[in-house]
Structure 1
Amino acid sequence: MNGWSEGWNDGSAPDDGARVMPHVQRRAGSYGGYAQPPQPSQGEPPLPPELSPRRAAASRGGVPRQGMADGGGTTYRAGRGPGGPGGPGGPGSGRGRVRRPRSWRRRIGWTALTLVVVLAVTSVATYFWADSKLTRTIDLSALPDRPALGKGTNYLIAGSDNRGNLTPQQQQALHVGSDNEGQYGNSDTMMILHVGSNGDTLVSLPRDSYVTIPAFTGATGTHYPATKHKLNVAFSWGGGQLLAQTVEYNTGIHIDHYAEIGFGGFVNLVNTLGGVNMCLSKPMVDQASGANFKAGCQTFNGSQALSFVRERHQEANQDLGREQHQQQFLQAVAHQTETPGVLLNPFKLYPVLGAGLETLNVDKGMSLYDLAQMMFAMKDVSGGNGKSMVVPVGDPNYYTATDGDALLWDKTKAQQLFSELQNDQQVTVSGN
């Protein structure tokens, strides 16, 4: 029993009266909207009952394809059941929907892209933030009679004892006194850092070095002739500008960049780092600088660090002893700044960067890249991949009528050292 009349197989219409579908209502004489019942095409045999659209759809567990009649006048559309929305196969029934598989590869790609964009934006923002912290005042391009451009990069690093940004209470606590010699104060630290293809070299220039201060024009426009004085007098008279001119004049080295840090900034940087670890081979006591340290490894805060780098009364040669302390400490600062605890911790990195950059006075051509190169070179020197020395000294107790005790460079060795640095050659000279 298939529900169809026998006459269907010979081309006659089904007996509609004998087959009433409860869910389909037709008007009298209507055949699915046609005046006459559908007839098979000429030359095509009629479909057997088992291949009728309804039977075929039922055997697949679905509905006929779009536009296909069920033989009873009802046309099925794709994704919709005979009852319309909500019916079998219709919207809301869950049938007929094709769900795409989740693409984890696409999600990972979007996540990676988002991270790259965030890092790029953060890096650019950090660059402009850090660049705005630098104070650029020294114009090296304006120096007269400059040596020829050398090979490699030469940095002149100075430490200023200017007390202008310190209160009287801070001056007393830091044991720096309150007197300033000249408009710019003095410089306790003067070093040439050479970065080149034959390794990095850090050369200290003692502040008591007796040198020629070349002719220069002061801030008021007054012209001063060349004269002989201690090296730190050049800084006292003309700040970093005249100091750079004097160093170039006496060494023949082209200074590419200049960096200066003052007392207040020095103390603030060390405290922001959380102190600097230092190891002393013997106790150190100096009432003038406030140094009072035991032998062994210990952590210096800002005030203690300043006392250490200014101490000069414990060594037989005061000025040379202080130069060695300063080199030792600057190398320790450079090494500690690059530790993962600082570089990988934004809550530590940004305060350290801010403290260091805000207290620097650099030349107008100094970029953040140049500054980073300087710090990496300092780390290389402290790690044994470079050379640290004091300029060769011939007479450490040379007496002058105007400046008292001073020291003279060993002219032959010093000239050889400066020539090797200017030409980026392997340093063969040993210093004091």
Structure 2
Amino acid sequence: AAPSGPPVQRPPNPPRTTTPDWPAAPSAARPATARPMPAVDGAPRAPRTGRRRAIVISVVVVLVALLAWPIGLAIWANGKLNHIDALSGAADTPGTTYLLTGSDSRSDGAVPQDGTLGARTDTIMVLQVPSSGPVALISLPRDTYVDVPGHGPAKLNAAFSWGGAPLLVKTVEQLTGLTIDRYAEVGFAGLENLVDAVGGVSLCSELTVNDPDSGMVWTPGCHEVGGVDALAFARMRKADPAGDIGRAERQQELIGAITSKVSTPSLLVKPGTQMSLIRAGTGSLAVNTGFDIVDMGRMAIAFRAAKGPGGITGTPPISNMDYRPGHNLGSTVRLDPGKTPAFFEAIKNGTLPAGPVGGVPTA
């Protein structure tokens, strides 16, 4: 039989110490503290959601800024371009053809032998981007003997003096058989500011020069130069055994050095430098009507391609560097009449092999 007696007194269960799934009601002894609403699994989500929202907003703001800045910069730059009516309206030829000219307003006391006065262009380059094949950058010597429409025999740069960009375009089209699609004219004095805006450029020459006319003082090799010395480098002609041909090569080198400098990725994070470059570059630049800042970028890309290992640089075939045809023209540069038409036909069609072409005739 079970023993009888008073019931056994068991100790009460200890108080539960687990945290409830919801915050306790505030009491007078302890102030209430706000807590985020927990998720179903007990992990608070409000702070995490807030952080994500802040990150998304920040990313959107940065993307908008990255998109808006170049668009705004392009609009501002387009407004600073000087436009002129330069194109002839001739029927298109394959590819895209740029005519780049550089004017040098230096007053060195020289008297024009061909009797022309007024504006002069000392740099004339044809940049041809064919539908397929290598890009070509061809310098036309300023003293090239040509027939200027409406004026007759003359030096090439006389066309610019007589009729500005439109007559020069027509003369180059007649000479090359290429229709000019884009025209860009830069004052070489303005390149001084552009070189300074990019912080100087590296130029190379094996000449020893101390030329008072251009101001070029040079020892053989490559040198980092500022605007003043870069301009002298592009101007010098008399102390160069290759004359205008050598000067054209140095001018191509200078423009190529500037193009490489402004294409560096570091400029993307330097808005102040970008604006300085645009001010310097557009201040002495004139382009054909319809030419915009996007076309300028395409031209720079084409220029770099021509100067690269897969491009073509040089001059048309030259038969005589001291051709004297009369007409009170003095010494002129005569292009080879037997080779020049086929040369420009190959340039137009992109069938000419990459590499240097033309130059001073060797025989």
Structure 2 residue aligned with 1:26: none
2:338 match: secondary structure:
helix
2:164 maps to: 239
Deviation per CA, 1:268-324, whole angstroms, max 9, x where unpaired? 112222222112223122222221111122122222222211211233342222222
Runs of 4+ in 1 over 4 A off after TM superposition: 58-63, 78-81, 176-184
C-alpha distance in 2 between matches for 1:257 and 1:182: 26
Q: State the TM-score, normalizing by the size of structure 1.
A: 0.69
Partner of 2:103: 160
User: Is 1:392 aligned to 2:331, yes or no?
Assistant: no
> In 2 relative to 1, CA 420–101 (structure 1 residues): closer, same or farther, beyond 3 Å?
same
Letter matched to residue 102 of structure 1: R
Report the CA distance shift for 1:236/1:396 in structure 2 as closer, same or farther (over 3 A).
same
SS at match of 2:122: strand
- Matches of 1:105 and 1:267, distance apart in 2: 50
User: How many residues are aligned here?
Assistant: 331
Change (3 A) 1:412 1:400: closer
Question: Among residues 270, 284, 301, which one is paired with 1:359 in the alignment?
Answer: 284
Q: Which residue of 2 aligns with 1:303?
A: 228
CA contact (8 A) 1:285 1:293 kept: yes
Q: Specify the alignment match of 1:202 in structure 2.
A: 137
Residue of structure 2 aligned with 1:121, choices 65, 68, 79: 68
Rounded to whole Å, the distance in 1 between the matches of 2:245 and 2:273 is 34
Cα contact 1:160–1:187 (8 A) shared by 2: yes
State the 1:101 CA deviation.
4.1
Distance 1:410 1:345, change over 3 A: same
Q: How far apart are the structure 1 equivalents of 2:212 and 2:36?
A: 88
Residue in 2 that maps onto 1:94: 33
- Give the conservation status (yes or no) of the 8 Å contact 1:79–1:95: no
Write the distance in 1 (CA, Å) between the matches of 2:156 and 2:95.
25
Report the Cα offset of residue 348 of structure 1. 2.1
The DSSP-based 3-state class of the residue aligned with 2:357 is coil
Change (3 A) 1:410 1:372: same
Matched with 1:350 is 275
Say whether 1:213 aligns with 2:148.
yes
Q: Structure 1 residues 323-332 or 197-206, which shifts more? A: 323-332
TM superposition shift of 1:214 = 0.6
Q: Is the 8 A contact 1:207 1:231 kept in 2?
A: yes
The alpha carbon displacement at 1:95 in A equals 7.0
Q: Deviations over 1:43-97 (max 9, x none)?
A: xxxxxxxxxxxxxxx999879xxxxxxxxxxxxxx9895xxxx657x9x623786
1:317 touches 1:396 (CA, 8 Å); kept in 2?
A: no
Give the superposition deviation at 1:209. Answer: 0.2
* Equivalent position of 2:338 in the other structure: 412
2:319 touches 2:336 (CA, 8 Å); kept in 1? Answer: yes
Aligned counterparts of 1:396 and 1:178: Cα–Cα separation in 2: 20
Structure-2 residue corresponding to 1:189: 123
Give 5+ residue unaligned stretches, structure 1: 1-57, 64-77, 164-170, 216-225
Cα distance in 1 for residues equivalent to 2:268 and 2:323? 46
Q: CA deviation at 1:344?
A: 3.8
Q: For residue 177 of structure 1, report the CA deviation from its aligned partner.
A: 5.2
- 2:153 maps to 1:228: yes
Aligned counterpart, 1:425: 351
Instruction: Report the RMSD for the aligned CA atoms in angstroms.
Output: 3.0
CA 1:328–1:79: 2 relative to 1, 3 Å: closer
Q: Distance in 1 between matches of 2:54 and 2:244?
A: 64
For 1:263-342, list aligned pairs within 5 A.
263-342=188-267
User: Equivalent residue of 1:203, what SS?
Assistant: strand
Partner letter of residue 32 of structure 2? S
Once residues 410 and 93 of structure 1 are traced to their aligned partners in structure 2, the CA distance between those partners, rounded to angstroms, is 98
CA contact (8 A) 1:285 1:292 kept: yes
Q: Is 2:180 the counterpart of 1:255?
A: yes
Change (3 A) 1:122 1:254: same
CA contact (8 A) 1:192 1:205 kept: yes
- Find the aligned partners of 2:35 and 2:276 in 1 and give their Cα distance: 61
Distance, in Å, in 1 between the alignment partners of 2:352 and 2:149 is 29
TM-score of the aligned structures, taking structure 2 as reference length = 0.81
